[in-house]
Structure 1
Amino acid sequence: MTKLSVNVNKIATLRNSRGGNVPNLIKVAEDIERFGAQGITVHPRPDERHIRYQDVRELQRIVTTEFNIEGNPIPKFMDLVLAVQPTQVTLVPDGEDAITSNAGWNTIKHKDFLVEVIAIFKKQGIRTSIFVDPDVKMVEGARETGADRIELYTESYASTYSENKEKAIEKFILAADRANELGIGINAGHDLNLDNIQYFKANIPNLLEVSIGHALICESLYLGLDNVINMYLNRLK
């Protein structure tokens, strides 16, 4: 079964919009695990506009499943990850002013930098993943950096799924097949939702983990958080 890691950034965004501590991020994370999710994901950004660095430290104390921290490996981020020691760190090349992640790494151009960063995390026993576009060459480049996994950036799949799902997933199948040949693990995330997740899972061999936040929280407004998490789990079997 593919693991479901729930990104709680949107919970923090809602809390921050009014100040105070409603909704309580820590309580929501505990409930998400209790409802069956196998991981918690956070993506702190330098301006802390949703997840705050202190949130990450507090979550580390209560998360009992896998804890995944995403972000651009600037010094402040790297210090946080090394202090918290999560299960996994996912390296994402987003700019400081990015609304959301919008591209994967060029693993060939940035190979030397990624090799250096990944070696630091792996020395501390932290599993490493690189956010990449569905491009065979980028997957091959990721393998050369020493990363344990890739996370396939699925925005292009999600945006064209309703038009032609077979075409939408073609590049992802090729990228996943190459990752499997190279022995690098496969994660996926970005704009996956209840409508498109099952088809993606069925066509990507050895998909280890999906990270879903925005869609899952939006769907929960209508269907309830407990219900939605279990709907995802059923689709990922």
Structure 2
Amino acid sequence: MFKRTAVLVVSCGALLTACGTDADPRLENEEIISNLIEAGYPADSIMVVEGAVYVERDAQVSLEASREMLQRGEGSAEQYRTNNLVDTTIVKKICINPTSAFNTYSRLSQGLDLAIQNYNSLGLSFVMARGPTTGCNANITAQATSGAGGSAGFPSGGRPYGTITIGTGLQSYSVDANEHMITHELGHTIGFRHTDFFNAASCGGNEGSAGVGAILIPGTPTSDPSSLMNSCFRATATGEFSQYDIVALNYLY
């Protein structure tokens, strides 16, 4: 998750100056931002960092994913997730493949194993596996970057987002903190928004309801201070799902 000082918040009005299907990344970003705003995301929750478009500080949105958000109506029961989910009729095994650089950081590596275990322990309609391995219906690259945050993106085409990026500064945090960060970013890749999207108190800001993904899942509260999918993490994080995170995951998957 990006820290506030690590991102450039861009005025969307200045970006929405053209439209088209040119391969120019700037034009693609303009369409992504336009689609996000049309889907209901507040302009101040959208940012451009190093040529990529993010919402909610750490969720990268591709052009395909932004178009899918406009194609689907509001779901029947969905809390803190985007309109885009993984299609488990085609994706049964998701493989997370760490880069060689990622593997040089022992706590990032341990955190990845524990994050995978978090999801697999729930008996969901898909399994996760650490790659390289066989039988993968979808692949996610786990790569390292500077800092102590993380980023990912939302699903598109029925498959999870293909990359999570984790800060090497987490090597100085506990294994539990690394587990928390990686589990959180994997949550974005399968379609989860921040639990505190309506009032990101853990990061001192408000992301807004965005008009999508704000319908309460039966059995979950309107807020959950213990949720692993809250905007920011504490150094004392346990890396474990809250009871309501588990309810939400079991409901959707």
> TM-score, normalization: structure 1?
0.26
As a proportion of its length, which structure holds more helix? 1
Q: TM-score, normalised by structure 2?
A: 0.25
